């Protein structure tokens, strides 16, 4: 039964379980607005904390964080001992850009061993300028619970963003001194090495693990990753033995290796096979690169000679750019780069930027939504098999992520893609003084440097304050380094319509 049919027979006087099920289905199907009016009526009839919680969850998913905060506050008042309500309240406040430390403290009182609450509190502390305290307290927790791999990963990321990337794996190394045969700890360490692109550390780490008596089927996956990025052999066993080829986790890594070694004879059939099986966002960037290199006509079908890249001049519609720049700079409390992001020589804000309830950010969001709607309205007709054009266009704009990047002199973005998005972006707020040539320009269509391709970008776009660039999320993009000044931008991924 469809949600519309369920709603047609639903009543705000239905029992709480029935209404919660309806809200959950709406949330999962991206139809929150259709269930919200039902919940709004229900909470006025029966003031039940759980119903206010679901109302808040629907509002939060719609990026109506001010309303969601009020709903969660009422839910917490009605049911002050419910840990899930307390956590939802704290998380919503953090996303909204409000000091959430007190709310996380309350959630932690109710659920002292909840890892998500512990990590969220650390994020709230860092956002409030208490990053060192967050690091110390999270380090104490993983010290008491050395098998908590998620905590180790989050601590590593927090250390990296505070300019202490050289300490990122220190808590795991301490845990391995206590439990040298704990395979999950070795797997976490290897995952962090991959995330920070320290591929040369993979084999020595696996050797250490095996010498300590650890055994893991995942070691074979990481050996394949090492071969993909560093081996120049035509068919290294770590990637192409029968056992390795049976590992679906290595498919993308085999594709990367074939691209890097220019083995088009094996690459094109593998891409065809994988796209027929699972046309995910992970594969399309490599198909784009391979088809261009092979002069395959599908290259033009996919990328349209770069015509899917569009620019918009939003300078007159945005809040005053100086005011907007000041708001964004205040959010750049980090001192270093994320382990696994494209930013090199700068900082990136944490959390969903466009969910913040700051009036300037909300005005920014409204202008962005209008530009995205215009971009979508002007796309070529729907083509079912195309990764950009194949999706429905009758849904409201939904963001899979949003953030601000502040690059300092010499900074750049490495060429990368956003496999979780549909449409990606760059909106320039402040740019350096005019440099030489294309310094600081956005490049679109130039592959990852590690693939060794000589393909030029489809387009190079000069950054200007107020200029928005929109392009498919699977399209390679990066920036040319610049020598001096500041490059302040906003970026976001539009979610695939559901």
Delimit the domains of the chain by residue range: 3-167, 217-305, 307-494
Assign a CATH topology to domain 307-494: Jelly Rolls (2.60.120)
- Interval 9-27: pLDDT, tens: 889 899 999 999 999 999 9
Q: Do domains 3-167 and 307-494 have the same CATH topology?
A: no
- What CATH number should be reported for the domain whose range is 3-167? 1.25.40.10
Q: How confident is the model at residue 151 (pLDDT cuts 50, 70, 90)?
A: very high
- Reported as a single tens digit per residue, the pLDDT across 260-304 is 999 999 999 999 999 999 877 799 999 999 999 999 999 999 999
Measured between alpha carbons, how far is 141 from 279 in angstroms, rounded to an integer?
A: 41
Token reading at 134: 């967050």
Residue 436 pLDDT class (50, 70, 90 cuts): low
CB atoms within 10 A of CB 20: 19
**Predicted TM-score of the model (pTM):** 0.94
Mean per-residue pLDDT for 206-227?
Answer: 98
Q: For residue range 28-48, what is the model confidence (pLDDT) as tens digits?
A: 988 999 999 999 999 999 889
Structure tokens at 416: 């990368």
> Is residue 495's pLDDT more than 80?
yes
- Mean pLDDT over 248-261 rounds to 96
Report the mean per-residue pLDDT for the chain: 94
| 398-432: pLDDT as tens digits | 999 999 999 988 888 889 999 999 999 999 999 98
Q: What is the 3-state secondary structure (H, E, C) of the chain?
A: CCHHHHHHCCCCCCCHHHHHHHHHHHHHCCCHHHHHHHHHHHHHHCCCHHHHHHHHHHHHHCCCHHHHHHHHHHHHHHCCCCHHHHHHHHHHHHHHCCCCHHHHHHHHHHCCCCHHHHHHHHHHHHHCCCHHHHHHHHHHHHHHCCCCHHHHHHHHHHHHHCCCHHHCCHHHHHHHHHCCCCHHHHHHHHHHHHHCCCHHHHHHHHHHHHHCCCCCCHHHHHHHHHHHHHCCCCCCHHHHCHHHHCCHHHHHHHHHHHHHCCCHHHHHHHHHHHHHHCCCCCCHHHHHHHHHHCCCCHHHHHHHHHCCCEEEECCCCCCCHHHHHHHHHHHCCCCCCCCCCCEEEEEECCCCHHHCCCHHHHHHHHHHHHHHHHHHHCCCCCCCCCCCCCCCCCCCCCEEEEEEEEEEEEEEECCECCCCCCEEEEEEEECCCCCCCCCCCEEECCCCHHHCCCCCCCEEECCCCCEEEEEECCCCEEECCCCCCCEEEEEEEECCCC
Q: Reply yes or no on whether the pLDDT at 161 is more than 90.
A: yes
Report the greatest alpha carbon distance in the chain: 70
């Amino acid at each position: 039964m469809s949600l519309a049919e369920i709603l047609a027979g639903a009543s705000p006087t239905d029992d709480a379980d029935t209404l919660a099920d309806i809200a959950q289905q709406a949330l999962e199907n991206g139809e929150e607005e259709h269930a919200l009016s039902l919940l709004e009526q229900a909470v006025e009839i029966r003031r039940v904390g759980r119903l206010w919680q679901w109302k808040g969850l629907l509002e939060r998913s719609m990026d109506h964080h001010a309303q969601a905060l009020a709903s969660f506050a009422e839910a917490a008042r009605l049911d002050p001992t419910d840990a899930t309500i307390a956590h939802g309240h704290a998380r919503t406040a953090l996303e909204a850009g409000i000091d959430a430390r007190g709310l996380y403290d309350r959630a932690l009182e109710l659920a002292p061993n909840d890892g998500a609450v512990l990590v969220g509190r650390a994020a709230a502390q860092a956002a409030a300028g208490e990053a060192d305290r967050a690091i110390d307290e999270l380090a104490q927790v993983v010290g008491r619970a050395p098998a908590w791999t998620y905590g180790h990963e989050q601590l590593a990321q927090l250390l990296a963003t505070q300019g202490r990337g050289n300490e990122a794996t220190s808590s795991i190394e301490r845990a391995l001194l206590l439990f040298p045969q704990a395979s999950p700890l070795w797997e976490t360490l290897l995952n962090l090495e991959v995330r920070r692109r320290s591929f040369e550390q993979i084999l020595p780490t696996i050797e250490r693990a095996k010498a300590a008596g650890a055994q893991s089927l995942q070691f074979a996956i990481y050996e394949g990753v090492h071969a993909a990025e560093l081996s120049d052999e035509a068919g290294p066993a770590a990637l192409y033995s029968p056992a390795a080829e049976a590992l679906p986790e290595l498919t993308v890594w085999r594709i990367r290796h074939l691209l890097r070694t220019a083995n088009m004879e094996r690459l094109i059939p593998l891409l065809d096979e994988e796209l027929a099986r699972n046309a995910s966002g992970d594969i399309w960037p490599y198909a784009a690169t391979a088809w261009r290199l092979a002069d395959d006509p599908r290259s033009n079908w996919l990328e349209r000679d770069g015509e899917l890249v569009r620019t918009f001049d939003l300078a007159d519609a945005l809040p005053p750019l100086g005011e907007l720049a000041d708001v964004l700079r205040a959010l750049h409390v980090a001192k270093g780069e994320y382990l696994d992001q494209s930013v090199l020589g700068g900082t990136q804000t944490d959390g969903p930027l466009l969910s913040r309830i700051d009036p300037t950010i909300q005005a920014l969001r409204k202008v962005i939504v209008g530009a995205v709607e215009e971009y979508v309205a002007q796309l070529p007709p729907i083509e079912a098999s195309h990764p950009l054009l194949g999706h429905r266009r009758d849904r409201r704009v939904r963001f899979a992520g949003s953030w601000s990047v502040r690059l300092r002199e010499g900074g750049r973005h490495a060429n990368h893609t956003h496999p979780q998005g549909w449409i990606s972006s760059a909106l320039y707020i402040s740019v350096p003084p005019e440099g030489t040539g294309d310094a600081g320009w956005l490049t679109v269509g130039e592959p990852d440097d590690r693939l060794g391709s000589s393909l030029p970008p489809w387009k190079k776009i000069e950054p200007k304050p107020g200029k928005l660039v929109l392009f498919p999320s699977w399209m390679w993009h990066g920036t040319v380094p610049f020598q001096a000044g500041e490059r302040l931008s906003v970026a976001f991924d539009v979610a695939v319509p559901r």
